[in-house]
Structure 1
Amino acid sequence: MTIAGVKNNKNKVLGKIFNLLFNNIDIVIFCIIVYIKLMSYEKDISTGYLDHSVIFPIAASILILASFSFLFKGKNRISFLYIADIVLSIMLIADLMYYRYFKDITTVAAIRNAKLLQGVSSSVGSVASVKDLYYVVDLFVLLPLTRIYKKRRNNVISLPKRLVSFIIVLAVGVGINACAFYRVSKEQPTLLTAMSNRIYLTNMIGNINFHLVDSYNYISNSIKNSKELPEERLKAIKTFLQENNKTTEENNFKGIGEGKNLIVIQVEALQGFVINQKVNGQEITPNLNRWVNKSMYFDNYFYQVAGGNTSDAEFMSNNSLYPAQSGAAYYTYSGNKYDSLASSLKDKNYYTAALHGNSEGFWNRNVMYKAQSFDDFFGEHSFNVDEKIGLGLSDKSFLNQSLEKMKSFKQPYYSFLVTLTSHFPYEAVDKYGDFNVGEYEGTFIGNYLKAIHYTDEQLGQFLDNLEKEGIMQNSIIALYGDHFAIPKDNAQQLFKFENESSSDDYTWFKYQKVPLLLHFPGDEYAGVNHKYTCQMDLYPTLANMYNLPRQYMFGKDMLNGDSQKVIFRNGSFIDGENLYVSWSNSYYDLKSGAKVKETEELKKEKDEYTKELGYSDDLLNHNLINEFSQKEQK
């Protein structure tokens, strides 16, 4: 062959390569842009070192998505890729906003609960960031380019060639994904199905794969939950509940509350770090500090909320059941039967009432309070909305009007009150901003300190009035915070406020506590209890104090026994000596904060706690309290 012929062949090969690239430049650009977005997202949600092996499943998921574009003809293919880019960009921004607020990943069940987020648009807006525009800027740049490319791209690839390209690219993507999923299944055998640790899972398989797995599990679980559980599984759940609800040999405070009123106050966003703390020389919560000294105070009381946030705190405190695996139990399981605190007290001839200054349908409360056997629910329409702050009736007006209602309640009664004004994003600041927070003025944490200072003042007046009216003489009061006030996205402000030099997972967990005060008549039993406890433990503790039966509780009595178990919905846990952080799969010594290597004992403990979460899920998914109680009646 002549030199001219070689050059001619070389030019032909280069021409074919050029034509191949030009005819597929839309797919190449799509893959590069989506890859950059997905990796940026992974870095945004990564709490520590990013495992770069996630590159492979991310690339695989992009190939799988891009493979479907080969099924479309020229111009339609470009439209498909552009629309896919739009959908992915919106999904990533939504996921980031959800992560900043809930410290979790969006799921199908959470999307089903989207209607429950009406009225919190201001909260959603507060977690939005200008940086999020990064995920959509390419859409504006590419729009004119796609139009130009559509005009110049004339070659139409035949259907057989498109099918071959589709199959090859899809097979490569599926193959890489299979390897990634196998790796996860070996490291964390139940993670892909239980999804108990969604952040860690997303950091291992990428965002697109996570949503595919979540959708598959949602559909699979819906089908599975429509079928009866095997008898062996039912027996295992019942055995666990029987063992967990055995009374200990100790009988501290047994029946001490019988015949007394029970007043439970759930305070919006009351986080533990503000108690006995000052800012600019002033006490942040002077009234609660005063009542802490008159009460039994638990300073290691952890919140355990998940996707249901405030409603999860209510759910756990009144039922001692774990939050829903995904979404909100208040919505998903509103048709279930419950052996709730209100139900048990009603059986002892108590009048039971829930009071809250927001709309009755918010978090599906109008349905769930009935399901939990409350005699009455006093929501927004039961109050004179004479002062509105943020989402609803101000705490000042709500607590004053609630007291008037409680005066007319038939005794003994159980009153469950949920405050509202200190709700994120802390709009109480607008009307009650006279609390001087010094250098924190205008910051996220500064606004929170002002908001909780306002709520503290209203709680102080309410508690003082209960005392003046003589109600406290025949009442036990439980007051606790529902969940975090400072989201992970603002963790650095919290660490700075607390003069923390470290910002690791152990330091973060140190501040995921909420106050719990148990007040007894005559300020009896005042003191600090340092035991590790949680929201799941409130009902079992009150059940012992009010001599109520214990059958379906996953928590433990805080005043009896030596359990210091705290299990979080994401799979993290505390056992009294160690902290396990699920999203980084790491252990810490609770006293020193030093990292601890996983032992066989710790691994066994982790497996047992994962199994416990599964038992609670099965109990909710299959309405087992109803099934078990029916069998007992026969």
Structure 2
Amino acid sequence: MRRLFSYASAPIVAFTLVLILKYYGLQFFIFDNLNPLDCLKVAVPSLLLFTIPVEIFFRNERKKLLAYFALNAILSAAMVSVIVYFRQFGIVVTYHAFMQAHQVLDVSDSILDLLQPLYLLYFADMALYLALRLFRSAPKFSAVRPNGRALGAIWGLSAATIVAYGLFYGSLLNELKQAERMGLVSYELHTIFTGVANANAAGAGAEPITPDAVRSVKNVELPASPYGFGAAKGRNLIVVQLESYQNFLIGMKLGGKEITPNLNDLIENSYYFSNVYQSIGQGNTSDAEFIVNTGFYPPAQQAASQAYGSKKLPSLPRLLADRGYETFTLHTNEVKFWNRIQMYPALGFGRYYDMEYFGQDDIIAFGPSDEVLYDKTMPILANLKANHKPFYAHLIAQSSHHPFIPPESKEMIELPEEWEGTDIGNYVKMTNYSDRALGEFIAALKAEGLWEQSMLVVYGDHFGVSAHSLKEDDRKLLEQALGHEYDPRTVHNIPYIVTVPGFTDEGFVSEKLGGQIDFMATAANLLGISLSSHVQFGQDLLNSTDNILGSRFYLPTGSFYNDEIMYISGETFGEGTVIPLSVSDPALEADPMLYKDDFVRIMRLLQMNDAYLEALPERY
């Protein structure tokens, strides 16, 4: 009995048990699973992979204890990071995101806003032990040494179990379910090996991807005389990407006041597409820039700027440059953020303007304000107008970036009392500020004589209000204002507005299904550029009847939209969720198998997308 007690009080047992308890908390926060057996099944083999080597390789008891504490601190910090990432994005972080760790300082305010005091419990055991050591009352660990061969055998069994989990659960469609069933260690290893295998498969002898092949899978036929073709031919193209803008903001009033009065006015003389959804992946804002300029889907588990920054991408900037346009992009952050320093040349932009040009004045979020962006953009556009040079200017407005901290110096909407000081209220204030700054930019374009010479495109890059981090009181306020549940349809829905003075003056609201993947084709049609011989995976929304959209990263693999429904994959296709796109429709209890053909088509399109991009030549 005494020997058994000495083994039970050995540091490997104590630290493994503490880490299992912490993993149980992670299982609850992410998977909403309180089953202790599910936790033990995945936590024990995963954690023994780390604790057994410490026990084997550290002979000195003091050094061994320090190693255990370091391991405890590292794994605790990793678990908290996974929870925080899930709260913001609703997905389990993979090694790809950890490769972007150098960007943490740029978004430190966002990270701090997502942290909760409850997460300190992950470090409470270490703080308590150190406090007890200080008062010389800390518990003593047994100095017993478990048999090395036995530990080696257990380590091998643990590693084999983790590999088996990856093989057994790797076929599940839903990545969240994969991570729950495999455990995080097995899931991370699975993403590494499948990522390498998929990249090799995409680049090895893939069949040529042609425009006709893509259109055949999409069931798209090009009209002989496309509506709106060339309506903006020869005009400047000005594209404004609004940070964290969701479609529910458009037309919404709080306390009788419009949140986006300038966008509402713009829509009166524009084509406004209200049934459009984000297509981004891990690269978020930078992925949106990639998608709208190429008509390609981003990679499944990596930022497009990282995966394809070395490529020479077929793109809208290149098409316009071939027609004599000056092409440039403007972003008030540093160009190194999200590897844009590689992505912009890959997209074919002639030049870029970043914080080096915009300066350090009037900082909001992590760069100069939207007002600075527009004020310092106008002289560039005016100079090109004076020199009779057509241009494509892509502006990235980012003041409405999370964590939505309204500066006291800015004029913003006055909210009802119950909204003031809330997270959702601050989001509304920052998007209202962005709308006001955009209104001033539009006024400046008109005053400069550029309005009638240009086509303006405005869209949101991705959701701003995460359904996973939304506080319950904030959710109630938002859903009361919406008049319906804040569900994935609303989370992923973004605005898309196209203005061609003289052509869109009467205004039109389209409920056709669309995605960011369709923006390039729509703009090209209006500019009089045929994409009939150009590989891209979107379609012109002015001339489309049916549409199908894939979604990656923020929805499980195999999820898609068609003209009627949003489909979210389950563990297998038949276990998925069918949601009608119209929030006024009752919930569907439709059999997912009714949409099997669309599932097969979208999976094929994503495979073709990846194969085509992998086969593109390097720029160097």
Normalised to the residue count of structure 2, the TM-score between the two structures is 0.87
Paired with 1:51 and 1:609, the residues of 2 have a C-alpha distance of 37
Q: Could you say if the C-alpha distance between residues 377 and 229 of structure 1 is closer, same or farther in structure 2, counting changes exceeding 3 Å?
A: closer
Q: CA deviation at 1:569?
A: 1.1
Letter in 2 for 1:315: F
- The aligned counterpart of 2:300 is 325
* Equivalent residue for 2:152, pick from 166, 178, 181: 166
Paired with 1:324 and 1:587, the residues of 2 have a C-alpha distance of 23
1:509 aligns with 2:509: no
* Equivalent residue for 2:516, pick from 535, 543, 548: 535
Q: Does the CA contact (< 8 Å) of 1:107 and 1:327 recur in 2?
A: no
Residues 198-277 of structure 1: matches in 2 within 5 Å?
A: 198-217=175-194, 220-221=196-197, 225=199, 229-231=203-205, 233-235=206-208, 240-241=213-214, 243=216, 247-249=221-223, 251-277=226-252
Q: CA deviation at 1:217?
A: 4.2
Residues 381-396 of structure 1: matches in 2 within 5 Å?
A: 381-383=356-358, 386-396=361-371
Q: Deviations over 1:488-529 (max 9, x none)?
A: 30164245323289998x823323211111111134351110
Residues 308-323 of structure 1: matches in 2 within 5 Å?
A: 308-323=283-298
Q: Could you say if the C-alpha distance between residues 35 and 520 of structure 1 is closer, same or farther in structure 2, counting changes exceeding 3 Å?
A: same
Letter in 1 for 2:595: L
Q: CA deviation at 1:385?
A: 5.1
- The aligned counterpart of 1:115 is 102
The farther-off stretch of 111-120 and 419-428 is: 111-120
Q: Does the CA contact (< 8 Å) of 2:166 and 2:190 recur in 1?
A: no
- The aligned counterpart of 1:194 is none
Paired with 1:433 and 1:332, the residues of 2 have a C-alpha distance of 40
Paired with 1:503 and 1:156, the residues of 2 have a C-alpha distance of 61
Letter in 1 for 2:602: Y
Please report the RMSD computed on the Cα atoms of aligned residues, expressed in angstroms: 3.2
Q: Does the CA contact (< 8 Å) of 1:50 and 1:203 recur in 2?
A: no
- The aligned counterpart of 1:563 is 546
- The aligned counterpart of 2:87 is 100
- The aligned counterpart of 2:72 is 85
1:30 aligns with 2:5: no
Paired with 2:217 and 2:317, the residues of 1 have a C-alpha distance of 21
Residues 85-484 of structure 1: matches in 2 within 5 Å?
A: 85-143=72-130, 153-157=142-146, 161-167=147-153, 169-174=154-159, 176-177=161-162, 180-185=165-170, 188=172, 191=173, 197-217=174-194, 220-221=196-197, 225=199, 229-231=203-205, 233-235=206-208, 240-241=213-214, 243=216, 247-249=221-223, 251-383=226-358, 386-409=361-384, 410-432=388-410, 434-438=412-416, 439-484=418-463
1:497 aligns with 2:478: yes
Q: Deviations over 1:588-624 (max 9, x none)?
A: 231435254544443453344234333333434x3x2
Q: CA deviation at 1:284?
A: 0.9
Paired with 1:501 and 1:206, the residues of 2 have a C-alpha distance of 37
Q: Could you say if the C-alpha distance between residues 518 and 236 of structure 1 is closer, same or farther in structure 2, counting changes exceeding 3 Å?
A: closer
- The aligned counterpart of 1:8 is none
Q: Does the CA contact (< 8 Å) of 2:548 and 2:602 recur in 1?
A: no
Paired with 1:268 and 1:433, the residues of 2 have a C-alpha distance of 19
1:589 aligns with 2:579: yes
The farther-off stretch of 396-405 and 76-85 is: 76-85
- The aligned counterpart of 1:612 is 605
Q: Deviations over 1:380-439 (max 9, x none)?
A: 233465533332222123212212221221432211111122222223433226531121
Q: Does the CA contact (< 8 Å) of 1:35 and 1:58 recur in 2?
A: yes
Q: CA deviation at 1:272?
A: 1.2
SS in 2 for 1:561: coil
SS in 2 for 1:213: helix
Paired with 1:209 and 1:338, the residues of 2 have a C-alpha distance of 34
Paired with 1:281 and 1:502, the residues of 2 have a C-alpha distance of 16
Letter in 2 for 1:496: L
Q: CA deviation at 1:163?
A: 1.2
Bigger-Rg structure (1/2): 1
- The aligned counterpart of 2:560 is 573
Q: Does the CA contact (< 8 Å) of 1:268 and 1:481 recur in 2?
A: yes
Paired with 1:281 and 1:567, the residues of 2 have a C-alpha distance of 37
Normalised to the residue count of structure 1, the TM-score between the two structures is 0.85
SS in 2 for 1:300: strand
SS in 2 for 1:423: coil
Q: Could you say if the C-alpha distance between residues 93 and 345 of structure 1 is closer, same or farther in structure 2, counting changes exceeding 3 Å?
A: same
Paired with 1:502 and 1:27, the residues of 2 have a C-alpha distance of 54
SS in 1 for 2:470: helix
Q: Deviations over 1:283-302 (max 9, x none)?
A: 11111111112111111111
SS in 2 for 1:471: coil
Identity %: 25
Greater fraction helix: 1
The farther-off stretch of 412-421 and 46-55 is: 46-55
Q: Could you say if the C-alpha distance between residues 497 and 429 of structure 1 is closer, same or farther in structure 2, counting changes exceeding 3 Å?
A: farther
- The aligned counterpart of 1:44 is 29
Letter in 1 for 2:490: K
Q: Could you say if the C-alpha distance between residues 148 and 526 of structure 1 is closer, same or farther in structure 2, counting changes exceeding 3 Å?
A: same
Letter in 2 for 1:431: S
Paired with 2:258 and 2:107, the residues of 1 have a C-alpha distance of 29
Give 5+ residue unaligned stretches, structure 2.
none
Q: Does the CA contact (< 8 Å) of 2:209 and 2:612 recur in 1?
A: no
Paired with 1:49 and 1:252, the residues of 2 have a C-alpha distance of 56
